[in-house]
Structures are given as C-alpha cells and as structure tokens.
Amino acid sequence: MRRRTQAALLAVGGIVAAALIFAAGFFLGVSPDVGGSLRNLFSGTTTTAQPAGDFALQREVLEKLGQSFYREIDPAALEQAAVKGMVAGLGDPYTVYMDPEEYAAFQEDAAGSYSGVGMVVEMKDRLVTIVSTFRGSPAEQAGIKAGDIIVSVDGESVAGKSLDVVVGAIKGPEGTTVVLEIYRPPVTATTLTTESPPTTVTTEPLGADLSYLPPGGETLTFTLVRKTIAIPVTDREILTAPDGQKVAHIWFFTFSVGSSQKLRAELEQAVNIDRVDALILDLRSNGGGLLDEAVNVASLFLSAEDVVVSTEGLHSPKHVYKASGGAYPSIPLYVLTDRYTASASEIVAGALQDYGRAVLIGETTFGKGLVQTVLDLSNHGALKVTTAVYLTPKGRDINKKGIAPDVVAPDDPLTEDRDETVEAALELIAGGGAAVETRP
C-alpha cells in the first residue's frame, strides 16, 4: 500500500504541506504542557509567527483551559477534539480527520478485505444509509437491506457522528459481535427524507442527524457476528432476451485496486467465449471507489482520447482524464443504475451516457460529484479532504443532482422474485434499443 492512499475518488495530492502548516498555526501560543502535545500531531512541520488575530480566540481558550480547568487536562483528548472540530467547521461531511486507528481501518478497506459485517454505507441526507450488502455476509444473511438507516451501534446513537466514525464502530475483530439498531423506511417512500437537510456551507459539524428520518418506517435490531470480508468485485450470469438474443448480465460492485482488470476478464469471457449479443453492466448499489479505476472501466467501452471526466478545485488545477482506448467500443451496452449508484459509478455512467455509448436504465443516481484526497499526517492519521468537483464529458455537474436514466425502470422492492430493471433492459435489447453514439 502506497503511503498516500488512493481512495474515495482520489485527486492531486500536492497540498499536504499547506494543510499541515495551516493546522500548526492554529496551536501556536498555547500553554507549554497542552500546546506542546498538540503540536506533536504536526511534528516536523516548520511554523512561523502568525499575524495578530490569527486563531486568537482558539489560542486564548486553550491557554485559559490549561491555566484554570479544575481537573488535569488530557492533552491527547484536546488534540483529537481540536482537530476534529476544525475539520467539522468546514461544513463538508466528506472532509474528515482520521486518527491512526481509523486510518488503518480505512487502508484495510482499500486493500480489498476487512473484518466486519459486509455492507457498504454512505451519508445520504445526513443519515447513515446502507447502500448494499455483500452476498453471504453477516449483514445480508441477517436480512439488512439497501436503504436501511443505521440509528445506533452497540447502543450508542450515531447522531452527530461522521460516517467514518460510525463505520469504525461497526468493524472489529473476527468472531466478535456488534448490535445494530436499524430504521427501515416504508417501501412506498421515494426519498429518504421528508425535509431537505442543510445544503449551504455552515460552521456546524455535519454528522448524522436522526431528525431527518422519514416517518412511517420500523425500527429493527440486529446482532451480527463479525467475520473477515473479502470485498467482491464482479459477478456474472447469462440471460436470454425475449427475441432470443444472448445477454451477459455483469454486476460490478466496487472500484477498488485492480477492479477494472477483473471487469475486463468478465467481458472477455462474455464476448469472446460466451459470444453474447449484448451486455448489461449493473452499477446499482455501487458506492464508488478509486478515480483511476473509474477511468479504466470507462476505457473498456470508449475510444482512445475520449474524455471520461474532468476535475477542478481551488487548490487542484483542472485535470482532464481521457480513455486509454476501448476494448469493446461497439457491442450494445446497457447500464443499470439506482439511487445508490454513487461517485466513481456516476463517473462511468455519466461518460457512457454523454457519448451515447450506453442506455442507462433504472433510477436517478446518488449525486456525489466530489473528489476526495487522502493526506497522510505525521501521527499516522490522515485527512480525507474534498479537493475538487468533477464534471462529465458534457460538463455536467451532478453533485446533489445525480444522473437521470434514459429509461426509468426502478426495481420494485415488493416483488422479490422479479427484477423489473433487468426485465426492462432485456425488453430494450429485444426491441433493438441500443444507444446511438453521439459526441459531446
């Protein structure tokens, strides 16, 4: 694993020094015992005198606490709280500080396996929402479903907690148990909230807020035994369209290291050996992953030099990512999406839709058009920072909007023995509904 972990849609990582200098300036001038410990978090960082008024209130509070608090102060606790509070003040739920233990767990996920209960979660409208469960995992076997909302972990409410903190509490050593309190919205609900959460920049922490739970659902409790989870990448089945055409239905679960190569292998099997007439790429409940892998996946279907995505942020110059060359640029392609198709999945779906390379079928996607960069810290923790927004080849900003499908065909959760989205794709294939290529 490289020291600068590429995860969660990583972008350019050249702002580490600036981040550390900024943080170090926050702690200048506090009392020796407390301030010295706080500065240890950023050891090795060169600091300079700050202009009068820079973080003056924060320094004053730290000094007075060190001189006046009635009990001995735990510098380590203040250190963690100060950093977490500073990051939370940005008002971005995707920018978080990970302490060394949390960062180790994060790296474990990126490696493709971990010890936990086997589900993907995301912060959706201030609610810790389950995006998918892995087949055969403790979560899937217990009956936890996509769309369920985590209310508490081992009896402790998730209210006010960041996504990474909640995930860290759920994971643990193999063989140990974790108790999850889950809120299951009514199946008739079309959205996860009845009231729009704050969308403007605020100085308040953007942790989970249970006041946004939609009414009419039920609360369930699950006691799960953790196990080592090998994160699946793909699965495949061969289907027959109503007109007799042979179709490969390929599930793609995550954009982890090397996942595009595994998808390529599935495509080679389907096209060259099974001799299918069309492909269904299923991105439903795929919560995303690495930006490089998203570009590689899109490259399997686009022509060389086609723009896949562009990214740009205040400290990240505009960067255009182009396809390396289409391995399968002409076979009819149908992409399935739902409201949990997020991040890297949306990059692929957006690019294929913009070029008319695929027909998108299902539901409007999640709407996470942001890039996170993981920045290592000297205490072996890390900052996961939103560094840029991304745009589709046609310049669409899909953040908080999602990508609307070409054909609306949601899977009905009440019909467990049918998949209406797949059925719609097969009907389109039989009707010759392949996309006609258009250039952005």
- Which candidate, 331, 391, 323, places its Cα nearest to that of 359? 331
Q: 226: buried, middle or exposed (CB in 10 Å: 19+, 13-18, 0-12)?
A: buried
421 and 310 assigned to the same domain = yes
pLDDT tens for residues 235-273? Answer: 999 999 999 999 999 999 989 889 999 999 999 999 999
More confident residue, 79 or 317: 317
Task: Write the DSSP symbol of residue 344.
Answer: H
Are 254 and 231 spatial neighbours (Cβ–Cβ below 8 Å)? yes
216 and 291 assigned to the same domain = no
Helices (H), 12-171: 16-26, 32-40, 56-68, 75-88, 100-110, 138-142, 163-170
220 and 269 assigned to the same domain = no
305: left (phi over 0), alpha (psi -120 to 50) or beta: left
Q: 431: buried, middle or exposed (CB in 10 Å: 19+, 13-18, 0-12)?
A: exposed
Q: What is the DSSP string of 216-257?
A: T-EEEEEEEE-EEEE---EEEEEEE-TTS-EEEEEEE--B-T
Note whether residue 244 is domain-resident. yes
Domain extent at residue 187: 113-230
How many structural domains comprise the chain?
Answer: 3
Phi, psi of 334 (to 5 degrees): -130, 125
Catalytic residue check, 401: no
Q: Which of 302-318 are b and which e, b meaning 16 or more Cβ less than 10 Å from the residue's Cβ? A: bbeebbbbbbbbeebee
Strand partners, 337: 362
Catalytic residue check, 343: yes
Residues with Cβ within 8 Å of residue 131, at least 6 apart in sequence: 119, 120, 121, 122, 146, 285, 287, 340, 342
pLDDT the model gives residue 33: 45
306 and 425 assigned to the same domain = yes
- Which candidate, 237, 296, 301, places its Cα nearest to that of 269? 237
Are 290 and 255 spatial neighbours (Cβ–Cβ below 8 Å)? yes
Note whether residue 258 is domain-resident. yes
CATH number at residue 165: 2.30.42.10
The pair of structure tokens assigned to 435 is: 């996309």
Residue from 368, 384, 406, 419 carrying the catalytic annotation: 368
In this model, does residue 364 exceed pLDDT 90? Answer: yes
Q: Give the separation between CA 323 and CA 321, rounded to whole angstroms.
A: 7
Identify the domain boundary among 196, 230, 264.
230
Q: Give the separation between CA 373 and CA 144, rounded to whole angstroms.
A: 31
CATH number at residue 371: 3.90.226.10
Are 177 and 230 spatial neighbours (Cβ–Cβ below 8 Å)? no
268 and 403 assigned to the same domain = yes
Note whether residue 107 is domain-resident. no
415 and 333 assigned to the same domain = yes
Residue from 354, 406, 411, 419 carrying the catalytic annotation: 354
Note whether residue 7 is domain-resident. no
Note whether residue 437 is domain-resident. no
Identify the domain boundary among 98, 132, 150.
98
59 and 200 assigned to the same domain = no
pLDDT tens for residues 154-184? Answer: 999 999 998 888 988 999 999 999 999 999 9
Phi, psi of 427 (to 5 degrees): -65, -40
Q: What is the DSSP string of 286-316?
A: ---B-HHHHHHHHHTTS-TT-EEEEEEETTE
Note whether residue 359 is domain-resident. yes
Identify the domain boundary among 230, 245, 267.
230
pLDDT the model gives residue 289: 87
Note whether residue 249 is domain-resident. yes
The pair of structure tokens assigned to 218 is: 């039920």
The percentage of the chain sitting over the pLDDT mark of 90, rounded to a whole number, equals 55
Note whether residue 213 is domain-resident. yes
Radius of gyration, CA atoms only, the chain: 23
225 and 240 assigned to the same domain = no
The pair of structure tokens assigned to 188 is: 């008739």
pLDDT tens for residues 224-234? Answer: 999 998 878 99
Mean pLDDT for 325-333 is 88
Least confident of 15-24, 88-97, 419-428: 15-24
pLDDT the model gives residue 111: 61
Mean pLDDT of the chain: 82
Kind and range of the H or E run holding 150: strand 149-153
138 and 274 assigned to the same domain = no
- Tell me the torsion sign for CA atoms 150, 152, 157, 161: negative
State pTM to two decimals: 0.73
146 and 214 assigned to the same domain = yes
More confident residue, 433 or 119: 119
Residue from 282, 343, 384, 419 carrying the catalytic annotation: 343
178 and 324 assigned to the same domain = no
- Which candidate, 288, 402, 282, places its Cα nearest to that of 339? 402
157 and 73 assigned to the same domain = no
